[in-house]
Each structure stands twice: as structure tokens, then as C-alpha cells.
Structure 1
Amino acid sequence: MDFKIKRILQLNYNLTPDKIISQQDGWAALAYKITSKKGSFFLKVYEKKRSSTKDLTDAIDKYVPVLLEIIGNDALAERMPRPLLTIENTYKWEDESAYYILYQYIDGETIGNQKLRQSEIAQYAETIAKLHQIKDVKNSHRLVEETFEISFALEP
């Protein structure tokens, strides 16, 4: 897998990795820390064969443009993951087996099952408050409408 990832990064992001370090996977994607002369990066690999990722991968084209727009908001720029564009100026690269999205690496620990400290709760609350203060996301907000219906519980 490392050779394939190295080739994808070289051909599509003009990035030659020195190291590819597997990170703790999430339920939706494989995760890698990439180190190179250009810095450290975080690569998410959404495998198409995983049934758990279909809804998420179907929504990539809805959510990433909104994320990019939010990053343009000065109040949130430092708090959001920043996807890097491919050499074709797209935020993802796709082959027959997966979608790849490369981000600037944010040094730190995944919260996981850890209990949040008071300072972390305050930072989280401040970030959520700033997200809710955004007034206009250039019509992108219309693309991201979620429902919380439980389809299997609805009457036929």
C-alpha cells in the first residue's frame, strides 16, 4: 500500500513522501501521516468497498466545498482541517478503489475515548459558536441539508 500511496502523492499532489506512517483508522477511512521535505500531511483514504463509507463518500462533493468556504472565514481558519488541492486543482483524487483527500497535518492527539479537559470543552464550544455565527456560505448551505429521520422506523 505504501508504494501505491507514494505514487499517488507524487503524480497527483507533486509530493514525494519521506515516510508514510499509518495512523489510527476511523470507521470511514484509512489514515496516514505523510512526512516530506515540504512538511507533514494527513491523508485520508476512503475505500469504495467499505459499505460504511458509501454515504460519506457520496457526500464528499457537498461537504468539502463548504469546508473550504469556512476555512476562508478568519475566525475559523486555524481551527479547521485544510484540504490541499491536487495538481489538477481538485480537493480529492479518485481511482477504482478509493477516494484520497490530503490535508495539512494538525499535530495533536485524537480525542477518542478520553475525557475532555475544561479548556478543551471551552475551545470546542467557542468553535461551535463561531460556526453558528457564519451568516452566508454562498449557497453551499443549500447543498448540505440533513435529515435525522430513522428510515427503518417510518411507516411504509
Structure 2
Amino acid sequence: MWQALGEGSVLRAVLEDFYSRVYEDPRLAPFFHGVTMKRAVEKQFLFLRQKFTGEKVYFGDRPRNAHHWMVISNELFDYRESIMLDCLRRHGLPEHLVERWRALENSFRSDIVKDKPWNRKIGDIEIPVSGFDEVTLDVGSLCDSCGNEIDAGVTVRYHLRLGTVYCPDCMYSIGE
């Protein structure tokens, strides 16, 4: 597979083609709000490179945690897959390897398809999908709402899943 993907050059072209379509798609684009296309391509490239070569180059979340908050139906999974398979064929991947790719993606179906968000799991600890908590900062930061500086020692509100931080002036103006 790795050779057919041009030792990565074809894989990168496939992913750039795929994500350019995804970021324009009204059903799929909302899942990538706040994530640059370059970042999405790079993460997927490293994940697939590791899958196809065995090299330890991907240090991101496994599919279950990466998609834990996304409500994705079987139909939406199939829809996304059809776009990927079209991209693979457009870039000349032989049909037997397209089917191998499909099998790889489908091996993660049970980690991605769900009718409600899951808590993220790190070991035995579950991290909630939504909600806020407060913390006193050890180092300074910026407010994700107003953009103002927040000094170390200030208590802020932060979103449990997103990690967005809100200064004392903004911390209660945001919704649950």
C-alpha cells in the first residue's frame, strides 16, 4: 500500500483532495470548525503512515477519542467514505487497494459511529463531553472570548472538552 501511495506523495495528494471537498461539504465541514485543513491533512497523513508502514510517527488520539464528541450515523460514515473512495480512485489507487483502504476505515466504524457523544477516556478516567470548570492559572494565557491577556494566579473558566479559557470578565457570559 505504501509503495502504491508513492511513499507518501500520493497519500498527501489524496488527503489534500479529500479535505478540500470535506471543508466545502455542508454535512462534514462542521466537524472541522476551528481546525485548519493543513492540520487535518497532517494528522491523518501521520495516522495512515503509521498504519501502512508500522513506523511510530502518529502521536494523536486513537479514533475513539478523536471522534468521541461527534455524533456520526452509519449513513454519514458511508457518505464520508464514498468521498474518500472517490478521491483514491481519482488518484489512481488500484481497486484492490481501494478495497483494502475501505476495510481499514471500516475497522474503526464501531469507534466512530454513535447516536450520542461519548466521554473521552484516558486510561480509566472519563472526561466529560461538555460543561465548564474553573481553575487558577499557573502561567498566563489569553481569553478565548475577548482575546485579553490573563495573568498567572487568575481564576478562569474553561470548557472541559475544548479547553477554551475565559477570563473573569467573560467567564459567565458564555453558555453551558
Q: TM-score, normalised by structure 1?
A: 0.29
Please tell me whether Structure 1 or Structure 2 has the larger radius of gyration of its CA atoms.
2
